[in-house]
C-alpha cells in the first residue's frame, strides 16, 4: 500500500500524551527496502501489547548532516511525516522531500489519536541511516525527452576535440604510453545522475561554430587541443547513450552523451543504466553513411559533452595550441545544476 505523507511539526511537550495510559509499543529492528531515487519501503517489529491502539505512525526523516551543512539549521524543528497505521512494509513516497543519491536518517514512533485530536505516542525507535538511489532509466528517459525539445537543428561536424594544458599531454606521452586514459566522471550535472562518480571515460567536445563549421577557438580547459576525426571514436561499432541534461543558472544547456565501443566495460555499464540512442537517428549526435562516406551531425542549440569510455591513443589525432581565449566561466567541472530551471528538471527529487 502506498501512502502519501503529510508534514507536521510537533514537539515533545505536546506529544507526551496521557501518562496513566498503557505505553504504546516502540518500533525496533527497522528495515528499509526497495529504495529508489524518491521512495523507499519501511517496516519494523513491535510488541503485540497495545498494538491494536495504534492509529498512526510518525516518521522522522532527515537529511544526514554533513560537515559542510548549515550549522545554524533549527535542530528543534523535526521533519515529521504522519501516516495512518497500515500493514507493513509501508511505502514512503514523495519527491518534495526525497532527493536522489542523498543520505537520510529515519526514526519511527507509533501513535494513538485521541478523541480530542491529540496524539499519545511511543518512544522514538533507534535511528537508521540509508541512501536514496540514482535516477533510473525511466527518469533519464524523461530528461531525454525534455532535452530533445530544445536540441535545435543539426549541424555538420567532422572532429571530436579535447582541450587540456600542455602538461597533461606531456604526462600522457611520458607515463601512459601516449594513450589518454579514462577517468571517473565528476559530480557535475543532475544530482541523481547514475554516471557521476561511477562511469570512467574521456571527455570530448564536438560543437562547432555556426559560421565556420569548425571547433571554436576558445576553451575553458587549457590552450592545447587534441583533435581526432569523428569516425575514429564514433561509428557502427560503438553504442551511443544519453547521460544527462542540465544547466548552471545560464541560458544555455548541456547534454552529456556516452560513446562506448560495443561490448566494452563502458558499454556494459551504460546498457543497464542509460537510455540508448539510435546512432543514425537521434536529436543530438548522428553518424550515417552517405555515398560510402561517414557523415556526422550535432545539435545546434545544446552544448554536447561526449564521454568516450576507452583509452584513446594520441597518435590517432593531432595536438595543437589554440589561438583563442581560455574562458574559465564556461568550465563545467563539478558544476551544480540549477534546481529551479523548468527546462531541464523532472518532477522527482533534484
Q: What is the pLDDT of residues 134-169, one digit of tens each?
A: 888 888 999 999 999 999 999 999 999 998 988 999
Distances (CA, A) of 277 to 112, 169, 203, 238, 284: 53, 32, 18, 11, 9
**What's the pLDDT score for residue 74?**
44
Convert the pLDDT of each residue in 183-215 to its tens digit: 999 888 888 889 999 999 999 998 887 777 777
Q: Where are the domains of the chain?
A: 28-132, 137-321
Mean pLDDT check: name the lowest of 121-125, 278-282, 321-325. Answer: 321-325
Residue 32 has φ and ψ, to the nearest 5°, of -110, 130
pTM of the model: 0.80
pLDDT at 261 over 90: yes
Convert the pLDDT of each residue in 90-104 to its tens digit: 998 865 578 888 889
More confident residue, 253 or 223: 253
Peptide bond into 64 cis (omega under 30): no
Average pLDDT over residues 229-239: 95
Average pLDDT over residues 246-252: 84
Give the Cα separation of 296 and 279 in Å (integer).
Answer: 10
Specify which residues 284 forms β-bridges with.
none
Give the Cα separation of 235 and 252 in Å (integer).
Answer: 28
Q: Which CATH number fits domain 28-132: 3.90.1150.10, 2.60.40.10, 1.10.3480.10, 3.40.50.150?
A: 2.60.40.10
Residues 6+ apart with CB under 8 A from 222: 163, 164, 165, 166, 168, 326
> What does the DSSP assignment read for 56-77?
EEEEEEEEPP-TTS-TTS-TTS
Give the Cα separation of 296 and 169 in Å (integer).
Answer: 27
What's the chain's average pLDDT?
Answer: 84
Amino acid at each position: 500500500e502506498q501512502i502519501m505523507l503529510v508534514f507536521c511539526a510537533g514537539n515533545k511537550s505536546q506529544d507526551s500524551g496521557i501518562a496513566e495510559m498503557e505505553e504504546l509499543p516502540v518500533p525496533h529492528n527497522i528495515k528499509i527496502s526497495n529504495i529508489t531515487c524518491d521512495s523507499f519501503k519501511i517496516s519494523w517489529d513491535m510488541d503485540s501489547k497495545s498494538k491494536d491502539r495504534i492509529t498512526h505512525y510518525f516518521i522522522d526523516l532527515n537529511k544526514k548532516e554533513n560537515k559542510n551543512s548549515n550549522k545554524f539549521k533549527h535542530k528543534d524543528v523535526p521533519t515529521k511525516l504522519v501516516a495512518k497505521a497500515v500493514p507493513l512494509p509501508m511505502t514512503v513516497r514523495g519527491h518534495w522531500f526525497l532527493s536522489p543519491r542523498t543520505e537520510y536518517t529515519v526514526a519511527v514512533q507509533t501513535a494513538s489519536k485521541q478523541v480530542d485530536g491529540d496524539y499519545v505516542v511511543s518512544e522514538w525507535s533507534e535511528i537508521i541511516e540509508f541512501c536514496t538511489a540514482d535516477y533510473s532509466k525511466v527518469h533519464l528517459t524523461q530528461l531525454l525527452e525534455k532535452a530533445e525539445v530544445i536540441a535545435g537543428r543539426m549541424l555538420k561536424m567532422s572532429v571530436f576535440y579535447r582541450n587540456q594544458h600542455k602538461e597533461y599531454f606531456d604526462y600522457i606521452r611520458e607515463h601512459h604510453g601516449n594513450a589518454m586514459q579514462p577517468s571517473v566522471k565528476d559530480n557535475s550535472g543532475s544530482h541523481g545522475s547514475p554516471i557521476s562518480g561511477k562511469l570512467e571515460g574521456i571527455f570530448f567536445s564536438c560543437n562547432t561554430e555556426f559560421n565556420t563549421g569548425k571547433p571554436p577557438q576558445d576553451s575553458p580547459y587549457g590552450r592545447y587541443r587534441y583533435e581526432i576525426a569523428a569516425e575514429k571514436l564514433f561509428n557502427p561499432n560503438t553504442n551511443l547513450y544519453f547521460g544527462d541534461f542540465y544547466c548552471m543558472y545560464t541560458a544555455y544547456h548541456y547534454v552529456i552523451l556516452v560513446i562506448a565501443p560495443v561490448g566494452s566495460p563502458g558499454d556494459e555499464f551504460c546498457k543497464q543504466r542509460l537510455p540508448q540512442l539510435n546512432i543514425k537517428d537521434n536529436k543530438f549526435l548522428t553518424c550515417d553513411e552517405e555515398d560510402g562516406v561517414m557523415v556526422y551531425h550535432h545539435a545546434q542549440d545544446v552544448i554536447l559533452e561526449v564521454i568516450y569510455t576507452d583509452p584513446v591513443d594520441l597518435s590517432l589525432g593531432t595536438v595543437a595550441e589554440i589561438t583563442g581565449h581560455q574562458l574559465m566561466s564556461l568550465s563545467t567541472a563539478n558544476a551544480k545544476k540549477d534546481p529551479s530551471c523548468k527546462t531541464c528538471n523532472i518532477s522527482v527529487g533534484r
